[in-house]
């Protein structure tokens, strides 16, 4: 049964993405700390870089461990998909493994253990290369996903296999750049909240207060800038791409059941009623969606009534709620980080305890926003694996039974819960030990 194949992949990739979204953003902040140390020679910046690299290393390890099973699932649960599209997606995935992963993992070890051996400038270079590797990894993964969302540069042979006709089109895909930038800045949001929350924790406990103030200040500045960039221009750019290339998905995620001929409203609150084909308890602002999408107040946006049933996403409520959770949380992040930045400007942030508690309380929510953002992308593409060309039902392995898939899913759930507990213990211990320089 395809349900278990999809459920297993959804669970494993959801759990896996808890880790890369922190490492990608945190690598940038670590480079910033190291650069500040080289510029100012103030030791606390170097302590901060080494401290967060320990947290980075724990995340990176967990990301590797949880990422490997997904590669195997392409051959077990999704063998037909791999057979038909491997000539294209195999190239980007191989480049991610050969170039990005090895770059990131090799220089991570040098950054952690090689400071005294290499000197500070080379130590900074290793940190920068870790950052470059982590962001290059995101680029190749997003190139793979972008091709599945908006296939370009391909040819379909008589046997149904996809082959690459134009290599450069993989990386000039109009879907790729906005998706990559949106994803990377969203990972910076997660990392900024983690950094700021650790700083708030130290200040509230009156422990490592000087480092805490540095972490808080850095997290708030990175958090405000990245939260704004996630919303505009990258979020706006992505939404316009969906409207252009996946109009049925756009209608579903915005909750447009019927085409509005005088301009489309933007829905703030509402619940999809799939029986009556409408939104219940709707609160909406007229014409705003048309303006945001096309800069035209009266521009018509096709509703779901304009598409055949088989063209629509197969789980409209999940897509709609995921999108609105993502947008709602993103708005909250901007508001909280703006208030924190204002208090930082007034030099009072470390004394405003309600705001410090708020920043700590919000730590899980950037993770949720990132995951729901990915749910929007993946639910919006359904019922296709390769949009418009290859149905999800056509990509499953014909010889793997649903019983086997369910059994291995239960195994993954048990194993990943243990890994999650181990991760929390290791990170908690690292935070408890504080930003002390590593001994060499």
Tokens standing for residue 273 = 């009623």
**Is a pLDDT exceeding 70 seen at residue 317?**
yes
**Is a pLDDT exceeding 50 seen at residue 273?**
yes
**Is a pLDDT exceeding 90 seen at residue 191?**
yes
Are the C-beta atoms of residues 200 and 360 closer than 8 Å to each other?
yes
Q: What integer best gives the mean pLDDT of the chain? A: 94
User: What pTM, to 2 d.p., does this model score?
Assistant: 0.96
- CA geometry: angle at 427 spanning 426 and 432, to 5°? 100
Inter-CA distances, 80 with 91, 157, 398, Å? 17, 15, 8
Are the C-beta atoms of residues 144 and 91 closer than 8 Å to each other?
no
Are the C-beta atoms of residues 385 and 81 closer than 8 Å to each other?
yes
**Is a pLDDT exceeding 50 seen at residue 172?**
yes
Instruction: Please tell me the distance from the alpha carbon of residue 255 to that of residue 272, in angstroms, as a whole number.
Output: 7
Are the C-beta atoms of residues 204 and 257 closer than 8 Å to each other?
no
Tens digit of each residue's pLDDT (9 = 90 or more) over 58-102: 999 999 999 988 888 888 899 999 999 999 999 999 999 888 888
Q: Which of 46, 56, 54, 36 is nearest to 133 (CA)?
A: 56
Tens digit of each residue's pLDDT (9 = 90 or more) over 7-50: 999 999 999 999 999 999 999 999 999 999 999 999 999 999 99
Max alpha carbon distance in the chain (Å)? 69
Between 2 and 376, the more confident residue is 376
Determine the angle formed by the axes of helices 176-205 and 20-40, rounding to 10 degrees. Answer: 70
Q: Which of 63, 56, 61 is nearest to 30 (CA)?
A: 56
DSSP for 175-190, please give it.
Answer: THHHHHHHHHHHHHHH
Instruction: Please tell me the distance from the alpha carbon of residue 109 to that of residue 53, in angstroms, as a whole number.
Output: 10
Those residues whose C-beta lies under 8 Å from the C-beta of residue 57, and which sit 6 or more positions away, are: 108, 112
CA 152 centroid distance within chain: 23
pLDDT of residue 267: 93
Tokens standing for residue 159 = 């046997």
Instruction: Give φ, ψ of 308 to 5 degrees.
Output: -70, 155
Which helix (H) or strand (E) segment holds residue 386: the answer is: strand 384-386
Rg (CA), the chain: 23
pLDDT of residue 8: 94
CA 359 centroid distance within chain: 20
Tens digit of each residue's pLDDT (9 = 90 or more) over 97-139: 888 888 898 899 999 988 888 999 999 999 999 999 999 999 9
**Is a pLDDT exceeding 50 seen at residue 156?**
yes
pLDDT of residue 437: 53
Tens digit of each residue's pLDDT (9 = 90 or more) over 225-251: 999 999 999 999 999 999 999 999 999
CA dihedral 417, 422, 428, 433 (to 10 degrees): 180
Are the C-beta atoms of residues 33 and 198 closer than 8 Å to each other?
no
Q: Which of 201, 67, 196, 161 is nearest to 389 (CA)?
A: 161
Instruction: Please tell me the distance from the alpha carbon of residue 102 to that of residue 7, in angstroms, as a whole number.
Output: 30
Tens digit of each residue's pLDDT (9 = 90 or more) over 278-301: 999 999 999 999 999 999 999 999
CA atoms within 13 A on the CB side of 110: 20
**Is a pLDDT exceeding 70 seen at residue 182?**
yes
**Is a pLDDT exceeding 60 seen at residue 438?**
no
pLDDT of residue 282: 93
pLDDT of residue 372: 98
Q: Which of 100, 103, 113 is nearest to 142 (CA)?
A: 100
Instruction: Please tell me the distance from the alpha carbon of residue 101 to that of residue 137, in angstroms, as a whole number.
Output: 7
DSSP for 53-104, please give it.
Answer: HHHHHHHHHHHHHHHHHHHHHHHHTTHHHHHHHHHHHHHHHHHIIIIIIHHH
**Is a pLDDT exceeding 70 seen at residue 439?**
no
């Amino acid at each position: 049964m395809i349900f278990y194949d999809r459920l297993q992949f959804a669970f494993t990739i959801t759990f896996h993405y808890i880790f890369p979204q922190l490492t990608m953003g945190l690598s940038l902040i670590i480079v910033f700390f190291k650069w500040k140390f080289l510029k100012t020679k103030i030791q606390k910046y170097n302590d901060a870089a080494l401290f967060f690299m320990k947290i980075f290393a724990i995340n990176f390890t967990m990301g590797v461990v949880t990422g490997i099973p997904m590669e195997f699932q392409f051959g077990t649960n999704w063998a037909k998909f791999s057979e038909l599209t491997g000539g294209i997606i195999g190239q980007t995935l191989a480049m991610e493994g050969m170039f990005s992963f090895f770059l990131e993992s090799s220089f991570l070890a040098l950054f952690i253990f090689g400071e005294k051996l290499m000197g500070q400038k080379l130590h900074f270079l290793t940190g920068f290369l870790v950052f470059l590797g982590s962001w290059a990894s995101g680029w190749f993964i997003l190139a793979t996903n972008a091709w599945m969302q908006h296939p370009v540069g391909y040819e379909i042979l008589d046997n149904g296999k996809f082959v690459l006709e134009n290599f450069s089109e993989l990386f000039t895909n109009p879907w790729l750049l906005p998706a990559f930038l949106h994803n990377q800045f969203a990972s910076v949001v997660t990392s900024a909240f983690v950094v700021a929350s650790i700083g708030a924790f130290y200040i509230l406990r009156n422990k490592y207060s000087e480092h805490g103030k540095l972490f808080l200040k850095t997290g708030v500045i990175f958090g405000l800038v990245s939260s704004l960039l996630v919303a505009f221009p990258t979020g706006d750019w992505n939404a316009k791409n969906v409207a252009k290339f996946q109009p049925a998905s756009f209608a579903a995620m915005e909750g447009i059941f019927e085409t509005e001929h005088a301009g489309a409203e933007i829905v703030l609150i509402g619940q999809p009623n799939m029986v009556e084909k409408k939104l219940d308890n709707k609160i909406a602002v007229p014409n705003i969606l048309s303006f945001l999408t096309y800069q035209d107040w009266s521009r018509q946006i096709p509703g779901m009534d304009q598409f055949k049933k088989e063209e629509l996403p197969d789980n409209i409520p999940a897509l709609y709620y995921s999108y609105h959770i993502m947008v709602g949380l993103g708005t909250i992040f901007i508001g909280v980080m703006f208030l924190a930045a204002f208090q930082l400007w007034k030099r009072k942030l470390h004394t405003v305890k309600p705001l410090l508690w708020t920043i700590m309380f919000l730590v899980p929510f950037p993770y949720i926003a990132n995951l729901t953002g990915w749910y929007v992308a993946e639910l919006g593409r359904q019922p296709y694996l390769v949009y418009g060309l290859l149905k999800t039902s056509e990509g499953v392995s014909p010889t793997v039974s649903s019983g086997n898939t369910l059994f291995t899913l239960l195994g993954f759930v048990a194993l990943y819960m243990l890994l999650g507990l181990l991760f929390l213990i290791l990170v908690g211990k690292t935070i408890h030990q504080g930003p002390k320089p590593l001994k060499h």
